[in-house]
Structure 1
Amino acid sequence: MSYQHILLAVDLTDESAQVAEKAVSLAKQGATKLSLIHVIEPLSFAYGGDVPMDLSAIQEQLDEHAQQRLSNFGNTLDYSVEKLYVVSGHTESEIHRVAKQDSVDLIVVGSHGRHGLALLLGSTANGVLHGASCDVLAVRVSDKKSD
């Protein structure tokens, strides 16, 4: 199956390269558009909105830093990137929103190996899978120290 537009969701950790490798490989097979997304959960989420100070300046710095890191990450890929998205909000819903907005037909996301109930997918990958209106590929990422 050939996809027209792949959305690669990355958390910008070292493991993002493993996920990107799979997305780029798929994109090359069909000369597919590739876009990147990184979602920042707003600081107010961490504190339940009950923060006695204005966090907007700090949030803006986090956004700018993430934009630079995502741009740098995109430049390391062996493939041309169509669009870069740094968005704030709940990770799964923002990935779904951008995928729908841009007519994405495949979302690629990393999944950590877990124990117990989360063995199949990590919580983010599971959330993306269950609300997506397109195909989702969860790429198993491994901790390089244990491999």
Structure 2
Amino acid sequence: MFRTVLVAVDGSEISHRALEEALAVARAMQASVHAVHVVQTGVYPTMILNNLEPPDIAQQAVLDSLEREADEILADTDRRAAAAGLRITPHKRWGHPGAEIIALAQELSADLTVVGSHGRGRLDRLFLGSVSSYVVDHATSTVMVVRAGPTAQDHGR
């Protein structure tokens, strides 16, 4: 029995499918749903975010753009959940996507973490994505990896 479901979203078609599957499980189990979007950062943006170095105008513009994109993705996720008759709790994180997904899953005591098989990167489309692979390797609870193809709605669940 799943009580708390966490789904990772990045705005890609596969993450929309992952959300659909997470919502189907949540509905069937009467579980709460949390959605996380992680803004991937490298060392330098992380230093800026941790106030180790003030950003210049160009860097701040990039950070602002990433922030807006994250907000848009989470707002779209909320709309999709509402259309399915469910409510989600959104979470925005900055850092390594896999590590942040695992950390949030542990903080929430999530019983199930749902991720897409690949994200928005080109190489991720060829193999099991590095984020989903990281989550599978490091999760302490059940992980559902959603591949491209039919969704729960297509199966009549």
Q: TM-score band, normalised by the shorter chain?
A: 0.7 to 0.9
Indicate yes or no: 2:139 matched with 1:140. Answer: no
Q: List runs of 5+ in structure 1 lacking aligned partners.
A: 143-147
Matches within 5 A, 1:1-147: 2-42=1-41, 44-45=42-43, 54=56, 55-77=59-81, 78-112=84-118, 118=127, 121-142=128-149
Say which is worse superposed, 67-76 or 100-109, in terms of deviation.
Answer: 67-76
User: Structure 1 residues 86 and 126 mapped into 2: Cα distance closer, same or farther (>3 Å)?
Assistant: same
Query: Aligned partner of 2:80: which letter?
Result: T
Q: List runs of 5+ in structure 2 lacking aligned partners.
A: 48-54, 119-123, 150-157
TM, length-normalised to structure 2 = 0.74
SS in 2 for 1:83: strand
Aligned length: 135
> Distance in 1 between the 2:72 and 2:46 partners?
28
Higher percent of residues as helix: 2
> Distance in 1 between the 2:129 and 2:76 partners?
26
TM, length-normalised to structure 1 = 0.78
